[in-house]
Structure 1
Amino acid sequence: MKILAIGATGFVGSHVTHQLMVQGHQVALFHRGSTTTSELNSLTHFYGRRNQLPNFKAQFEQFSPDVVLDIIPFTEAQAQDVVQVFSNCTQRLVAISSGDVYRNYEGLQGQESHPPDPVPLTEDAPLRETRYPYRDLEALDFEFKQDYDKILVEQMLMEHPELPATILRLPAMYGPGERQHRFLPYLRQMFDQQPILLEEEQAHWRFSHGYVENIAAAITLAVTDDRAAGRIYNLGEASTPTLRERIQALGNLVNWHGEIVTLPRDQLPSHLQMNLQWQYHLATDTTRFQEELGYVEAMTKEEALRQTIAWELENLTATSPESRSLSR
């Protein structure tokens, strides 16, 4: 199978590219050239910025991909470019979306006052009623935040039957190479034998996660299985623990015997107080993807955490005996 991947050289994209190569597919990459590895040197590369995609239409048609994978469609205009460029030169499109499309996300942010939608959220759960979720976040340094909206991306791509699309809604991802280091703050506290403080409702909050190699395998399956055409799927862990349970699982693997302390918001240190409405959970239901495409996670949650911890240890500066004993 010939596959053209847009932006597939980063955190999850590089894993997808590797898995496609291992399976023997012919892969071409469109990217800026700022993140790549020697492993990818043998592939066909098209170098350009996202807004230059239409300039490569003739070259894409010459490559004639069976499937186009778009890892980074952020705005409606970008999705429109994809439709215009690829409608007549590929059989199918797979595009990456996000769990931030769901209505519970705007509830979490305090943007709406509707009752929380029950979890786990299926693909048919209500979507956000507001648009451009990151436009007003001053602290966010993101090139496309003014026009970012995955709902508009999904709508644009699903409205064109001449280009059958698959939408994959991703969870929070973790694993080696993850820039946000989601678990590192907890690990630091564990290594320093400190209690972990959470807001009372926050401790019970559920937010779907996914280990990067498992998510990459799921994306690879959607790319290579034509049964995914025209479908929307949630990706992520089969069941979503509470934040307290997730932190405890992390602690168990580093032999941490500390305490998770829950307090009312106003009793937490100011740097831990977040203006979020924790009753709005972001746990998604992945049953559809498992049943329709036969997906099974290759990496267990425990092993995924172990590998993530091993990588995060390289980012820790603590060299105390306590930290060394926890890392064994």
Structure 2
Amino acid sequence: MKVLILGGTGVISSQISQQLLAAGHEVTVFNRGSKSLPDAGQYEWIVGSKADGETFQRQMAGRRFDAVIDMISFNEPDARLTVETFRGRVPQLIFCSTGAAYKRPFRTTPVKEEAEALFDDPAFPYAYDKARMELYLQSRIREENLAVTIIRPSLTYGVGGANLGVLRQNYNIVHRIRQGLPLVMFGDGRLPWSFTFAPDLAKAFVGAVGNERTYGQAYHATSEENRVWDDLYGEWGQILGAEPVIVHLPTDLLLKADPDLFAHLHYEKSYAGLFDNAKIKRDIPDFQISLTLRDGLRMMLDWYEAEGHTLDEGKMRLEDELTAIHSRWSREMEELELS
């Protein structure tokens, strides 16, 4: 099949591109042209930006594809442009949404798609805008019977990503564990979560292409390994051969320390992240999780060391300051207890 990926070189979309190619599809990638892919010559490349809607529509005029996978729509106007550009010319549109688009607290645990409402608090724009995008797409499904498939990843890590850890600091975690420096964890670290890796998630998108069972449907696609948040750093310690020093801080205090950096903890990750994959396995039988948390972190470490990653000095200072505050507070509590 001829598949167009809007994006195609990101953490998740690069895995989708490669898996589509391996499955024998003819793949066209549309993006700004700032990144490449392995075996780049096997793809058709279109350089552009959806931010310039008129130019985007001219570039796509007359083009025929069997499916379009949109990885770069983050709100209703983005999705509307994709729908209006390809309506009537492409049999299937597949959109990447997010598990953050579910309203918290959940109604079900593990989460079931059909039982949940969508996020409705504009205070967390990422989740709110994705939810609004989905509401628009669902209206097109109802009113036009448009063949739209929506995939909702939860927290997903992968090569090229900069979102690992509480501070989204990536390589800093490895450095701090090796140096015996403390790491900040939100809450008590015991909240259940399923950590997913991009090579597994990509199977959901590839399995949806041309799959009529997925038309008009929304799915989450996550790991099924039941872990808690402390395990993220504990597994790093096992891989590196050093026990991590984990400092637990309340989420509301972290939010006050840096509202932009820690909003994802307050609005999304303060609730258990366990998802029921029964629906996607029913319609996409090839969706099977193969990477454990340790497997995925080893993959990340291989990437860090192969590319010689550097530290995020700003986040290093912030983590030092936060753990120092915790240390002072702990001493004061001990003194209060002794008095």
> What is the TM-score with the length of structure 2 in the denominator?
0.75
Match of 1:186 among 169, 173, 187: 173
Question: Contact between 1:3 and 1:28, CA under 8 Å: does it hold in 2?
Answer: yes
State the alpha-carbon separation in 1 of the partners of residues 62 and 248 from structure 2.
59
- 2:3 alignment partner, SS class: strand
The answer to whether 1:291 aligns with 2:286 is no
Match of 1:122 among 112, 116, 120: 112
Q: How does 1:28-67 map to 2 (within 5 A)?
A: 28-37=28-37, 39-57=39-57, 60=60, 62-67=62-67
Residue 116 of structure 1: how far off its partner (Å): 5.9
The answer to whether 1:226 aligns with 2:226 is no
State the alpha-carbon separation in 2 of the partners of residues 191 and 175 from structure 1.
21
State the alpha-carbon separation in 2 of the partners of residues 178 and 131 from structure 1.
26
1:184-240 alpha-carbon deviations (Å, 9 max, x no partner): 3332221012454535x3412334431111112222112243322111110121134
The answer to whether 1:216 aligns with 2:202 is yes
Match of 1:255 among 218, 241, 249: 241
Q: Counterpart amino acid of 2:296?
A: A
State the alpha-carbon separation in 2 of the partners of residues 266 and 67 from structure 1.
43
Deviates more, 1:31-40 or 1:169-178: 31-40
Question: Contact between 2:182 and 2:247, CA under 8 Å: does it hold in 1?
Answer: yes
- Cα 1:188–1:61 change in 2 (3 A) is same
Q: Counterpart amino acid of 2:3?
A: I
State the alpha-carbon separation in 1 of the partners of residues 163 and 270 from structure 2.
24
Structure ranking higher in helix proportion: 2
Q: Counterpart amino acid of 1:51?
A: A
Question: Contact between 1:188 and 1:316, CA under 8 Å: does it hold in 2?
Answer: no
1:127-168 alpha-carbon deviations (Å, 9 max, x no partner): 22223623xxxxxxxxxx7x9711111122222234211100
- Cα 1:291–1:302 change in 2 (3 A) is farther
The answer to whether 1:174 aligns with 2:148 is no
Structure of greater relative contact order (alpha carbons < 8 Å, 6+ residues apart): 1
What residue in structure 1 maps to residue 137 of structure 2?
157
The answer to whether 1:103 aligns with 2:108 is no
1:281-306 alpha-carbon deviations (Å, 9 max, x no partner): 34333232123211112434332221
State the alpha-carbon separation in 1 of the partners of residues 224 and 92 from structure 2.
27
The answer to whether 1:315 aligns with 2:305 is no
Question: Contact between 2:11 and 2:158, CA under 8 Å: does it hold in 1?
Answer: no
Q: Counterpart amino acid of 2:282?
A: E
Q: Counterpart amino acid of 1:149?
A: D
Question: Contact between 1:61 and 1:89, CA under 8 Å: does it hold in 2?
Answer: no
Question: Contact between 1:238 and 1:287, CA under 8 Å: does it hold in 2?
Answer: no
State the alpha-carbon separation in 2 of the partners of residues 129 and 148 from structure 1.
6
Deviates more, 1:16-25 or 1:55-64: 55-64
The answer to whether 1:92 aligns with 2:92 is yes
- Cα 1:29–1:310 change in 2 (3 A) is closer
Equivalenced residue count is 294
Deviates more, 1:207-216 or 1:188-197: 188-197
- Cα 1:251–1:82 change in 2 (3 A) is same
> Which 5+ residue runs of structure 1 have no aligned equivalent?
105-114, 135-144, 318-328
Question: Contact between 2:157 and 2:197, CA under 8 Å: does it hold in 1?
Answer: yes
What residue in structure 1 maps to residue 14 of structure 2?
14
- 2:30 alignment partner, SS class: strand
- 1:41 alignment partner, SS class: helix
State the alpha-carbon separation in 2 of the partners of residues 116 and 181 from structure 1.
24
- Cα 1:264–1:22 change in 2 (3 A) is closer
- 1:149 alignment partner, SS class: helix
Deviates more, 1:207-216 or 1:147-156: 147-156
What residue in structure 2 maps to residue 133 of structure 1?
124
State the alpha-carbon separation in 2 of the partners of residues 39 and 53 from structure 1.
29
State the alpha-carbon separation in 1 of the partners of residues 299 and 91 from structure 2.
37
State the alpha-carbon separation in 2 of the partners of residues 121 and 186 from structure 1.
30
1:75-120 alpha-carbon deviations (Å, 9 max, x no partner): 211111112111110111100001121222xxxxxxxxxx664532
